[in-house]
Structure 1
Amino acid sequence: MTVTSRHLEWVPKPFRDGDLAGGGSNRLLGRSDLSMTEILIREMAQNAWDARTAGGTPTFDINLRRLGPREVGILRRELGDSYGLGLDAVLADEALRGLEISDRGTTGLDGPVEIGRVTGEDTQNFVDLILKVGVPRTDGRGGGTYGFGKTAAYAYSSCGTVVYWTRCRTPEGLEHRLIASAMGPEFHLDGAEYTGRHWWGKRSSDGRTLPLRGDEAEALGKAIFTARFEGEQTGTSILILDPPVEHLSASAGGSDGGNEEADAQAEALEPAEVDALFAQAAREALRLHLWPKMTPDVPGGPAPMNISLRVSGEAIDLGTPEQGAWRYWSGALRAIRRDGEGSTSGDEGGGLLPPKIVRVTRSRRPMGTLAISVRNLSIDPPDRADDLDPHAESSGTGRLMLMRGQTELIVKDKDVAAGGDLLGLDWFAVFKADSSIDADLASTEPPAHNDWLPGGAETDGEKYARFLRGRLPVTLRSELSVHAPLPEQQDAADSTPLAAMLGLLLPDEPKRQKSIEGQRRTGVLKGRRGFVVTGHRLLSQGDRLHQHHMIDFFVEGPGGSTLIELSCRVASEESRTSLSLDAEQLMPEWRGAKPRAENPLLANVENGRAASVVLRAPLGRAVDVSLAPVED
């Protein structure tokens, strides 16, 4: 069908009792530390995820493009009638930008097309998104709770105008629906007062707004949108008209407008510069907020959601879960997913160390699961060009990501100082809430769903949010912190031996639960000697396959000497078990101590004298080193 005549009618909403002004709707998202680009991408992707069809993998595509003269002409014809939106000026631009966001493998905007009497079982996707504002979802299964996230699309348009094209299933079969909608300031026209809400569709006999449907909707959709519906695909595409330059050029952490000087600079940018800046901001937002949706359960497997970004026809590389810092996040999330299935084994991919799993409870009720991935900075230093890297300036600080259980929506990412000196290590942590408390936590989120904010009420959600905000940093510090020295050793230059720090990296072995701190205490209580490890250093990489470690120590006590035993275990490449290394593999070099000729893993050190040992261990593997005094 060729689109040559006008199909859409303008239907502005007159004020009725209890109506909300359109300009007020645009402010429903409130204030947030997220940029408008982040909010838009989070909300649109979460809407697509919530609407996914059973048994399939949804797709989510963002496409910033310039509309051609034919497309602009069609929009000028179809949206020609309006008031107070500035559409005339926008549609006069032959190089008009549009941000097209499409999802497939989703239900589309199905259900009734007009508000009326319905039962609790009826699908209401069309009326909830297009005709209503503030429809709550109270089960915690969706990303949205307040139903205000859809206003992000209107706020991202200079004229507050969005075109919707959807294909959904109805009792009569597959159906195309198309409608345009806008939110703008309230206005007066011909003696009547209007809310500033606008629709372009079909007007019913009683003045209600209806979408264009069937073949007409399909033909007009194909004339305006680039994404098509193949086979029996269902889903939704939206076209945001004229995203402001200050939105497109703002970085993922920026303000997206409101700064006159910054906005003026943005207006002066060349189109290619704006495209490049938007590509960067959108890429960062997708990676930071949607990396769980792009992380498969196993390396190389299918992702939960297929996500793509295009800018002016160019596909933007979003990276993979096996690259850079993303490897550590994906390793932690996969460990949580396996833990939920009752399994703790699996290939982390990329030679990563097995994450530490901690189940968090409150009065025996499960709150969720915390997973901690640890990085050896000498082997894999921070990359400041990697937007998923915490960029830790000291080894005691890492990043914690909070997410809901059922949606795996990243609610908040925050830097946390774990305290202590991790001696060349840093960490990445993921907390996934238990699905049973999703709805409670969702009730504490602001409209942008980017935090759990306990207020003054004593609801379950408030209690859980308050508990988690206090407990998670403490748990992290407990899992990562160094052991404090014994009272008898307070004056010593003490720090945790490597085994005490890296114990979390190796599987628990019931027969080897005696800690380094316990080894120290045994020596002190016997009154003969106090064994102290004073430091650990990672030396320059020995060769392509090995890393050298240097451990400094001394033995307190009366004159004489003490026999010291060195042992070392490393994580197996094939499983979560650990393997013991012999003297030939470790090649120990004792300094200030005399090794035994018959066993280089044993050495005598004079009491009161500082000594050290240098050993060789496999590169990129979890290492558990133990030094302990033994009976001669």
Structure 2
Amino acid sequence: MRPLTLYSEPFARTGNIAGEGFRRLLGRPALGLLQTVIREALQNSVDAASPGNGVEVKLRYRVLGGEQLEQFRTLAFSDLPPGVAEQEDVEAETPRSLRSVLGEDKLGIFEIADFNTSGLGGPTRADAVSEGEELDFVNFLRNVGAARDTNLGGGTYGYGKTSLYALSRCSTIMADSQTTFAGQPVRRIMGCHLGNAFEDDSEGLPKRYTGRHWWGRDDGEGGVDPLEGQEAVHLACALGFPERDEARTGTTIAIIAPHVDDNADLPSDLVEALLWNFWPRMCATTPHGKRLRITLEIHGEEIPLPAPEQFPPLDLFARALELARAGKGKEIRSQKPKALLGNLAIVHGLCSPRSEIARKDESLIPRQSSHIALMRPVELVVRYQPGEAYPDDRLEWAGVFICSDETEIERAFADAEPPAHDDWSPDMLPKGRQKTFVNVALREIRQEAQTFVLPKQANSRTEEKGPSVAETATKLGKLLGQTSSRGPGRVARPGGGARRKKISISPPRFIRLETVDGQRTAIFEADLKNDGSKPGMLLHATPQLVIDGSLEDAADLPPGYTVTLLDMSLNGDTAPPGGIRIGHKGGNVVCRVTMPEDAAVGIKFTFDEGETA
């Protein structure tokens, strides 16, 4: 099998963009580099899906060594650009030389492969005119900064791809694509490297080069085209790229020597980045034509991805997404000019225990959610707007805002996104209707995020100071059934004639969720203190529904919102339905309460004398 042929781009008389300039196009995204790459690559995969077809994506990290590495070097990079050997990194941001990276004993490769997408089709030369054909190949591998051409798509095709090169320690990628051109299936492979501009006189005449290099097959005119046909199929197999055939169209992007920490945190970092950014496309309620099916493989081992509904707080976000999709949230409107800008839905519930993935330091997943996910109708998260959290950390909330799919409005939000697609920046828009749309929406969303927990009085015209956090926490504590009215910042005073309680029970603590006979069930526990002075006293537990932070009695609940106490135990001994006769015992009280799908529950403890605990 013949190795790929190298082509180094010379500067044209009219000028070109140098490789180092191309690398800087992405700017400095707010997200980490690995998260930026995953977002950019999967957004492009979603945009490349045919209407009505869900996308499959496989992310794989592998390390080559020995014969595998030697074969990879020989077939893909036997010919290296002149001058590249001297491009050792002298600054932290300068990439390593390709020659030095390939000379190491091990070579890491991070692959992002999509299936059921259109692949990199169209002509392979940037100056070719081809009516009726998309320009995906040249826009991805040849051109710089091509405009977005996907209606309601996820990204501006071109600029964000520089993140792929930035993730490589040697700014090098390879693309393997099964696609169509002129109505016929075709397989294509090409490599690309972004180096620094340099001069070379190996041909007898000094010449300046941009630092952009491609590996493919000699086109007979001094350049290279991608390797195509059966030769491309055989090379893909030899290089170990994911298998595909004419029925499995799509593209594999292989990032050579990626900047990733190959340690125990890599699987959780990838799982977290995928879920936090793409959960709307992974929910059970996502229509088949929008569904994103992702597999993750590291060192040959498949890493399971939990469903968003089973990964708090994404379960709350998933419920909010359903409401926003159906237009059942709050309508966000502009008055001048009049327009419906989108729909905002917020739900709340108990703060469920986090997965081990989300408990690590510097996790993307908040320990207590109080955020609104911002997205366009393509349902890819742009960013999260933080808001005011519940003072009681047993409660949390999550919201989703989807902008309108009306052409002018959706275009306004799309154009407000920077190259990394990680924000809505109205300052990027010229003065006019579109800028107003984005400004008004962001203002209203921020207002909702800050006031959801403590709504402002609608008719308030004064500037009186609101209640302190301590007072609010105290009130919420009472509403959630706590036994003591003592709130944060309130100190008990000695004396005063009040007799200290000898029998008491602590506020209930939410422990976890379980499924019992197909029913979501919340587990609570509390601590009973008992001096034995009233052995005949009964302890009762009453389940209640939490609505907007307050507890509602079971008698007031609408159909479908019934909560039931399954059982209660003291130190492991299950109590009869009438309650626990405390006798001389104290210790751990555990209650199991059924929980409706779209609500939170709480527990109120009382003793048989009518005293609220």
TM-score between both structures, scaled by the size of structure 2: 0.70
Report the CA distance shift for 1:490/1:72 in structure 2 as closer, same or farther (over 3 A). Answer: closer
Residue 292 of structure 2 is matched in structure 1 by: 305
Q: Is the 8 A contact 1:538 1:548 kept in 2?
A: no
Shift of 1:477: 4.4
State the distance in 1 between where 2:222 and 2:467 align: 84
Letter matched to residue 10 of structure 2: P
Are residues 1:369 and 2:343 paired?
A: yes
SS where residue 162 of structure 1 aligns?
Answer: strand
> Which one is further off, 76-85 or 324-333?
76-85
State the distance in 1 between where 2:466 and 2:223 align: 81
> Which one is further off, 290-299 or 29-38?
290-299
Report the CA distance shift for 1:206/1:550 in structure 2 as closer, same or farther (over 3 A). Answer: closer
Shift of 1:75: 3.1
Residue 30 of structure 2 is matched in structure 1 by: 33
Are residues 1:414 and 2:385 paired?
A: yes
Q: Is the 8 A contact 2:189 2:232 kept in 1?
A: yes
Letter matched to residue 620 of structure 1: M
SS where residue 463 of structure 1 aligns?
Answer: helix
Q: Which residue of 228, 234, 237 corresponds with 1:219? A: 234
SS where residue 275 of structure 1 aligns?
Answer: coil
Q: Is the 8 A contact 1:140 1:438 kept in 2?
A: no
Shift of 1:307: 0.8
Letter matched to residue 101 of structure 1: I
Letter matched to residue 101 of structure 2: V
Report the CA distance shift for 1:146/1:101 in structure 2 as closer, same or farther (over 3 A). Answer: closer
Residue 221 of structure 2 is matched in structure 1 by: 206
CA shift digits 1:586-619 (9 cap, x unpaired):
xxxxxxxxxxxxxxxxxxxxxxxxxxxxxx9964
State the distance in 1 between where 2:69 and 2:553 align: 75
Residue 207 of structure 2 is matched in structure 1 by: 192
SS where residue 322 of structure 2 aligns?
Answer: helix
CA shift digits 1:72-127 (9 cap, x unpaired):
22332231222326222222234211111111111111111112353664211111
State the distance in 2 between where 1:55 and 1:234 align: 15
SS where residue 275 of structure 2 aligns?
Answer: helix
Shift of 1:230: 4.0
Letter matched to residue 367 of structure 1: L
Q: Is the 8 A contact 1:136 1:144 kept in 2?
A: no
Q: Which residue of 474, 486, 489 corresponds with 2:447? A: 474
State the distance in 2 between where 1:470 and 1:159 align: 42
Are residues 1:236 and 2:251 paired?
A: yes
> Which one is further off, 469-478 or 127-136?
469-478
Residue 515 of structure 1 is matched in structure 2 by: none
Are residues 1:129 and 2:101 paired?
A: no
SS where residue 417 of structure 1 aligns?
Answer: coil
Letter matched to residue 455 of structure 1: D
Q: Which residue of 596, 606, 620 corresponds with 2:595? A: 620
Shift of 1:388: 6.5
State the distance in 2 between where 1:411 and 1:543 align: 33
Where do 1:181-580 residues align within 5 Å? 181-190=192-201, 191-230=206-245, 232-243=247-258, 247-249=259-261, 274-297=262-285, 304-323=291-310, 324-339=312-327, 357-363=329-335, 364-377=338-351, 380=352, 385=359, 389-392=365-368, 398-405=370-377, 407-417=378-388, 425-436=395-406, 437-455=409-427, 457-482=430-455, 539=508, 548=543, 568-570=555-557, 572-573=559-560
Are residues 1:177 and 2:188 paired?
A: yes
Report the CA distance shift for 1:327/1:547 in structure 2 as closer, same or farther (over 3 A). Answer: farther
Are residues 1:62 and 2:59 paired?
A: yes
SS where residue 52 of structure 1 aligns?
Answer: coil
CA shift digits 1:148-186 (9 cap, x unpaired):
111111111111111111111223521111111111111
Letter matched to residue 309 of structure 1: L
Residue 517 of structure 2 is matched in structure 1 by: none
Report the CA distance shift for 1:538/1:433 in structure 2 as closer, same or farther (over 3 A). Answer: farther
Report the CA distance shift for 1:376/1:67 in structure 2 as closer, same or farther (over 3 A). Answer: same
State the distance in 2 between where 1:223 and 1:543 align: 53
State the distance in 1 between where 2:333 and 2:163 align: 35
State the distance in 1 between where 2:256 and 2:49 align: 26
Shift of 1:319: 1.1
Residue 78 of structure 2 is matched in structure 1 by: 80
Letter matched to residue 466 of structure 1: N
Report the CA distance shift for 1:483/1:417 in structure 2 as closer, same or farther (over 3 A). Answer: closer
State the distance in 2 between where 1:408 and 1:88 align: 41
Letter matched to residue 432 of structure 1: I
State the distance in 2 between where 1:116 and 1:490 align: 66
Shift of 1:547: 5.2
State the distance in 1 between where 2:289 and 2:542 align: 35
Letter matched to residue 11 of structure 1: Y
Residue 20 of structure 1 is matched in structure 2 by: 17
SS where residue 104 of structure 2 aligns?
Answer: coil
CA shift digits 1:292-339 (9 cap, x unpaired):
12113269x897011121111121222112212221111111222233
Q: Is the 8 A contact 2:66 2:105 kept in 1?
A: yes
Are residues 1:105 and 2:116 paired?
A: yes
State the distance in 2 between where 1:491 and 1:64 align: 53
Shift of 1:42: 0.5
Q: Which residue of 38, 42, 45 corresponds with 2:39? A: 42
SS where residue 248 of structure 1 aligns?
Answer: coil
Q: Is the 8 A contact 2:190 2:214 kept in 1?
A: yes
State the distance in 2 between where 1:76 and 1:416 align: 51
SS where residue 385 of structure 2 aligns?
Answer: strand
**Number of aligned residue pairs:** 483
SS where residue 439 of structure 2 aligns?
Answer: helix
> Which one is further off, 309-318 or 114-123?
114-123
Shift of 1:362: 1.1
State the distance in 2 between where 1:486 and 1:455 align: 32
Q: Is the 8 A contact 1:107 1:168 kept in 2?
A: yes
SS where residue 158 of structure 1 aligns?
Answer: coil
Residue 557 of structure 1 is matched in structure 2 by: none
Q: Structure 1: give runs of 5+ residues left out of the alignment.
A: 250-273, 345-356, 503-536, 552-564, 586-615, 626-632
SS where residue 72 of structure 2 aligns?
Answer: helix
Shift of 1:239: 1.4
SS where residue 96 of structure 1 aligns?
Answer: strand
Q: Is the 8 A contact 2:6 2:224 kept in 1?
A: no
Shift of 1:544: 6.2
Report the CA distance shift for 1:423/1:482 in structure 2 as closer, same or farther (over 3 A). Answer: farther
Report the CA distance shift for 1:206/1:389 in structure 2 as closer, same or farther (over 3 A). Answer: closer
Shift of 1:431: 0.9
Letter matched to residue 383 of structure 2: K
Report the CA distance shift for 1:139/1:240 in structure 2 as closer, same or farther (over 3 A). Answer: closer
Report the CA distance shift for 1:424/1:152 in structure 2 as closer, same or farther (over 3 A). Answer: closer
Residue 492 of structure 2 is matched in structure 1 by: none
State the distance in 1 between where 2:267 and 2:104 align: 22
Residue 257 of structure 1 is matched in structure 2 by: none
Letter matched to residue 130 of structure 1: L
Residue 114 of structure 1 is matched in structure 2 by: 125
